[in-house]
């Protein structure tokens, strides 16, 4: 994506809706520029009327004029900055909302190829760089350009030849700015990449604190993070130095124009060809023009940093999703709950096949168990039902309707999921239970908790259902967290239930409580269970045995034991 394409897209999606405010800001920019030019021009009548003609009235009027002009300039600056701040923050908010929407609706395959650290860096670091380049820098560029034009107008009004001499340095400053901009863009890209690495390391360490401590790897992790911090620091220093170089070098180059103009003005002054008042006004305008010229020289380096950030942000937003809802998708209404896998194959990278030509049927209101060695494709099979992924070939039918032909919302509304590692949020117990049904009443929430055997331990907390559980539910035991997630599934009351090794990580006592709750939950639902402990699925209506992405066996527990196949070997290994 080129710089011009980034600007066009920003204008269309983010700047165009703010045009009315930007137009108002532009008016204030014009006022600021005119006020700056007027301040320089006032030096002409000040010298002429006060010092040469000794006009007593002008001794009062001209200072009052300066005060008035500067007051107007101050007000205009305040309103211009206020408007641009509002516009800039709106741009940040809009882009961040788009990014979070993309992340939230993205399929699991998309999320797996985009590391969370990189996404966080895009979300926080790049969006701010982009906003700074577009709203702050671009607006300041316009303001400085308008101010420079007004001051050049004063200079040319006083003396054309002197003005042309003073402008000799502008092409040199532009060339310098272009070269420094390229270096800034390169350094900024490196900084963002390293920011993503650092964010990833921090995320991993916060999630894996127990493992780091258990294996005494504190020093190794500190060293690894420190190296990333120092790499990022060096890149930031390089970026800052490159941007900082624009000001002194542009000043040095501009000095040639100023020196040339002063030399030529001095010769004409000695010869009596240049009035003092005109020269002072010209000199004032020229010196005032020096600041916007220096800012314009720095603007390109900041814009290049923003363009680099913009490319990364839009690349993330434009990455195609694998799971896409059809335009004519219809609402899924589950009447029976029959689920059919028809010649289903799955590949995460379009190279290695995880599932190959899977065919089976889940009967309505039945319990079907998936078993098999680690990596056999059990979780992959379960994830296809709510369309966390789409199959490479084949289709999944619910009551005879392909999951690809229905809306994602209605499909996932029909499915409740209880996973091996329950995901809870830093909210109250009440809010975690009602997460899938925000409008649930008090009685519904309590009823769901009782069915999940959770009401008793919840009421033992001082704040009961209002107890805040902390990040990831750290204040709860594994069994308590799992029973809250089961209560959430009860409250959702979906006709299809997916259980992904829901008891495998629990101790015997917790497993008993959770298994009792699950047994109640499975009644009158089409249930697919991934079982780690085979004793928990002996009463399943059907057991499907997977190995290396294919179905090895299908039958009841009794039938599979008699077959003396893979299931029997797995069962005997556990007992």
CB 337 within 8 A of CB 364: yes
pLDDT confidence of residue 259: 78
Q: Is residue 384 part of a domain?
A: yes
CB 296 within 8 A of CB 144: yes
Angle between helices 478-492 and 508-521 (to 10 degrees): 0
Helix (H, G, I), strand (E, B) or coil at 123: helix
Q: Is residue 192 part of a domain?
A: no
pLDDT confidence of residue 397: 95
Q: Is residue 489 part of a domain?
A: yes
- Number of structural domains the chain divides into: 3
Q: Is residue 51 part of a domain?
A: yes
Question: What would the two tokens of residue 310 be?
Answer: 């913009």
Question: What would the two tokens of residue 110 be?
Answer: 């998309």
Residue 278 to residue 40: CA distance in whole angstroms: 11
CB neighbourhood size of 375 (10 A): 13
pLDDT confidence of residue 110: 74
Residue 321 to residue 350: CA distance in whole angstroms: 14
Phi, psi of 501 (to 5 degrees): 50, 50
Q: Burial level of 41, CB count in 10 A (0-12/13-18/19+)?
A: buried
- Find tokens 């219809």 and name the residue: 330
User: In the listed set 493, 527, 551, which residue is the last one of a domain according to the structure?
Assistant: 493
Same domain, 97 and 22: yes
pLDDT confidence of residue 343: 94
Same domain, 167 and 264: yes
Same domain, 306 and 450: no
Q: Is residue 238 part of a domain?
A: no
Nearest to 305 by CA among 174, 190, 173, 140: 190
Q: Is residue 235 part of a domain?
A: no
Residue 240 to residue 330: CA distance in whole angstroms: 54
Q: Is residue 185 part of a domain?
A: no
Question: What would the two tokens of residue 538 be?
Answer: 């002996």
Same domain, 342 and 282: no
Same domain, 28 and 127: yes
Q: Please report, for the domain that includes residue 294, its CATH number.
A: 1.20.1560.10
**Ordered per-residue pLDDT tens for the chain, 575 residues:** 777 888 788 878 888 888 888 889 889 989 988 888 888 787 778 777 776 777 788 888 888 888 898 899 899 989 988 888 888 888 888 888 888 888 888 777 777 777 777 788 777 778 877 777 776 777 777 788 888 888 888 888 888 887 777 777 677 766 777 777 677 777 777 777 787 778 778 777 777 776 777 767 888 888 888 888 888 888 888 877 776 776 677 667 767 777 777 777 778 777 777 777 777 777 777 777 777 777 776 777 777 777 778 888 888 888 887 888 888 999 999 989 999 999 999 988 777 888 999 999 999 999 999 998 888 889 889 999 999 889 989 999 999 999 999 999 999 989 988 887 778 888 889 998 998 788 888 899 999 888 888 888 899 988 899 988 877 677 788 888 888 888 888 888 889 999 887 665 566 666 677 777 778 788 888 999 987 777 678 888 999 999 999 999 999 988 888 887 888 888 888 76
pLDDT confidence of residue 417: 87
Same domain, 349 and 400: yes
- Find tokens 């070098």 and name the residue: 249
User: In the listed set 318, 351, 368, which residue is the last one of a domain according to the structure?
Assistant: 318
pLDDT confidence of residue 247: 65
Q: Is residue 211 part of a domain?
A: no
| Beta strands across the sheet bearing 339-347 | 353-362, 339-347, 393-398, 401-402
- Provide the residue range defining the domain that includes 384: 337-414+495-575
User: In the listed set 493, 520, 539, which residue is the last one of a domain according to the structure?
Assistant: 493
Angle at 108 between CA 204 and CA 377, to 5 degrees: 95
Same domain, 58 and 119: yes
- Looking from the CA of 391 toward its CB, the CA atoms found within 13 Å total 25
Same domain, 50 and 79: yes
Same domain, 575 and 435: no
Phi, psi of 419 (to 5 degrees): -100, 170
Q: Please report, for the domain that includes residue 544, its CATH number.
A: 3.40.50.300
Same domain, 532 and 384: yes
Phi, psi of 464 (to 5 degrees): 55, -130
pLDDT confidence of residue 505: 56
Same domain, 276 and 286: yes
Same domain, 44 and 29: yes
pLDDT confidence of residue 279: 74
């Amino acid at each position: 994506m080129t710089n011009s394409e980034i600007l066009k897209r920003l204008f269309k999606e983010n700047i165009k809706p703010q045009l009315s405010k930007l137009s108002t800001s532009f008016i204030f920019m014009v006022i600021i520029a005119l006020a700056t030019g007027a301040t320089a021009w006032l030096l002409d009548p000040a010298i002429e009327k006060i010092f040469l003609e000794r006009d007593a009235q002008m001794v009062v009027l001209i200072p009052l004029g300066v005060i008035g002009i500067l007051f107007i300039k101050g007000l205009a600056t305040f309103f211009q900055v206020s408007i641009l701040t509002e516009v800039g923050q709106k741009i940040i908010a809009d882009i961040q909302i788009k990014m979070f929407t993309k992340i939230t609706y993205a399929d699991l395959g998309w999320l797996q190829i985009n590391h969370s650290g990189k996404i966080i860096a895009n979300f926080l670091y790049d969006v701010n760089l982009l906003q700074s380049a577009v709203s702050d820098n671009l607006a300041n560029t316009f303001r400085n350009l308008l101010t420079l034009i007004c001051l050049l107008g004063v200079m040319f009004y006083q003396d054309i030849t002197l003005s042309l001499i003073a402008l000799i340095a502008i092409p040199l400053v532009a060339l310098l700015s272009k070269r420094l901009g390229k270096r800034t863009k390169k350094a900024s890209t490196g900084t963002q990449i390293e920011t993503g690495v650092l964010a990833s390391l921090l995320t991993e360490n916060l999630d894996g604190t127990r493992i780091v401590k258990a294996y005494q790897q504190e020093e190794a992790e500190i060293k690894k993070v420190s190296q990333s911090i120092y790499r990022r620091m060096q890149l930031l220093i390089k970026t800052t130095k490159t941007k900082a170089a624009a000001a002194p070098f542009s000043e040095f180059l501009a000095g040639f124009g100023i020196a040339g103009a002063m030399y030529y003005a001095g010769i004409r002054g000695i010869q009596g060809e240049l009035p003092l008042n005109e020269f002072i006004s010209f000199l004032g305008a020229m010196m005032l023009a020096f600041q916007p010229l220096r800012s314009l020289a720095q603007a390109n380096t900041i814009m290049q940093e923003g363009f680099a950030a913009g490319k990364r942000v839009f690349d993330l937003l434009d990455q195609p999703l694998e799971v896409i809802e059809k335009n004519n998708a219809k609402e899924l209404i589950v009447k029976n709950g029959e689920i059919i896998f028809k010649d289903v194959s799955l590949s995460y990278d379009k190279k290695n096949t995880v599932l190959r030509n899977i065919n089976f049927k889940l009967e309505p209101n039945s319990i079907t168990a998936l078993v098999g060695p680690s990596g056999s494709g059990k979780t992959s099979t379960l994830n296809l039902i709510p369309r966390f992924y789409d199959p490479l070939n084949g289709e999944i039918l619910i009551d005879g309707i392909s999951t690809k032909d229905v809306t994602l919302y209605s499909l996932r509304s029909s499915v409740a999921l209880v996973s091996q590692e329950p995901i809870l949020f830093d909210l109250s117990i009440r809010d975690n239970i009602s997460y899938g049904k925000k409008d649930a009443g008090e009685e519904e929430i309590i009823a769901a908790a009782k069915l999940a055997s959770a009401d008793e331990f919840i009421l033992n907390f001082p704040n009961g259902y209002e107890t805040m559980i902390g990040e990831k539910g750290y204040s709860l035991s594994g069994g308590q967290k799992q029973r809250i997630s089961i209560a959430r599934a009860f409250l959702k009351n979906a006709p299809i239930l997916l259980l992904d090794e829901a008891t495998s990580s629990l101790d015997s006592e917790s497993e008993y409580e959770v298994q009792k709750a699950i047994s109640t939950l499975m009644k009158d639902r089409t249930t697919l269970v991934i079982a780690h402990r085979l004793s928990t699925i002996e009463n399943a209506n059907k057991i499907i045995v997977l190995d290396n992405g294919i179905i090895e066996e299908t039958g009841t527990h009794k039938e599979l034991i008699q077959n003396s196949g893979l299931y029997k070997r797995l069962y005997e290994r556990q007992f």
